[in-house]
Amino acid sequence: MSSASQDNAVGDAGGTEAKRMADEKTAKDNETCEKYVKNGLNRNVTVQFLYERLLQMGCAPPKNMIRCLDCKDSQRAGGFGVVEEIDMSATAASTTTDKQKSDQYSKCAQTKQEIDTLLAKERDGDAKLRLLPQIYLCQQHLRNETHAHESMVHELIHAVDMCRTKMDPINNCIHLACTEIRAENLSGECHWLREVQNGRMLTDFLGHGAKCVKRRAQLSVKANPNCAEKAEEYVEAAFERCYKDTFPFDRHPNLR
Ligand SMILES: [Zn+2]
């Protein structure tokens, strides 16, 4: 039984070299991402504005709220929150160690199966779920610094929404659709920020923007197994109200 793995260990020089190169790339990606995050916090006015708003609203972001992680095969640029099980047994509070926690974070986007398992437990009354206020950027999928900062703004909008309402995006698909619409709309991911920065006049603002926001919000809603099946309907139902809702900005930041 063990001979196969021994063979592997001995005759795998090529694999070791490949692993060394992969590790080097991971380290480089991480370094670049950390730099983007630092610059975002120090210089990006939108990121700074949202951070300050969180403080004013009484939701001081935890230290190192924004992390750079290796997201492996997941294609996303980042995410908000880690679905965590609140253990229902009385002595449980102290059983989650920091090590376990960081293992959980380092998994980045949880797999559909993991989330399904947690959701099933909650349905059966065995567990309660909550979202941790944690933002992660997937370091290997950031195209450039602008992309990193847009992803930060996107996730900070989710943090603001979690702070201002008793939002339950795990179980309430309309809540989820609403915060995704707002995050896509206000982050500039539909290219408005860049267009304006480049001094271009936007003639088809509502048309293009709304379509892009809708499409991207639907994709995000589909990522929650509770909401995947009717993602389009949820986004449609929430769209008008949530697309208009620019809180905590007075108006759409890309129009300033
Ligand atoms: Zn989102």
Is 155 among the catalytic positions? yes
The catalytically annotated residue of 84, 122, 150, 155 is 155
pLDDT (tens digit per residue) in 87-139? 544 333 333 444 444 443 333 445 666 767 777 777 777 766 666 667 889 99
Give 152 Cα–ligand 1 centroid separation in angstroms: 10
**Where would I find the beta strands (DSSP E) of the chain?**
66-69, 78-80, 83-87, 127-131, 135-138
Give 233 Cα–ligand 1 centroid separation in angstroms: 17
Give mean pLDDT, residues 205-219: 81
d(CA 123, CA 170): 12
Instruction: Tell which phi-psi region holds residue 81, choosing left (phi > 0), alpha (psi between -120 and 50) or beta.
Output: left
- Burial class for 171, CB neighbours closer than 10 Å (0-12, 13-18, 19+): middle
Give 110 Cα–ligand 1 centroid separation in angstroms: 14
Give 122 Cα–ligand 1 centroid separation in angstroms: 23
- Please name which of 218, 82, 79, 231 lies closest in space to residue 141, comparing C-alpha atoms: 79
Full strand arrangement of the beta sheet holding 135-138: 66-69, 135-138, 78-80
Residue 219 confidence (pLDDT): 93
Residue 96 confidence (pLDDT): 41
Residue 256 confidence (pLDDT): 36
Instruction: Tell which phi-psi region holds residue 21, choosing left (phi > 0), alpha (psi between -120 and 50) or beta.
Output: alpha
Which of 31-40, 100-109, 165-174, 183-192 has the least mean pLDDT? Answer: 100-109
CB of 135 closer than 8 Å to CB of 30: no
Residue 91 confidence (pLDDT): 37
Give 154 Cα–ligand 1 centroid separation in angstroms: 6
d(CA 167, CA 182): 13
Domain boundaries, the chain: 165-256
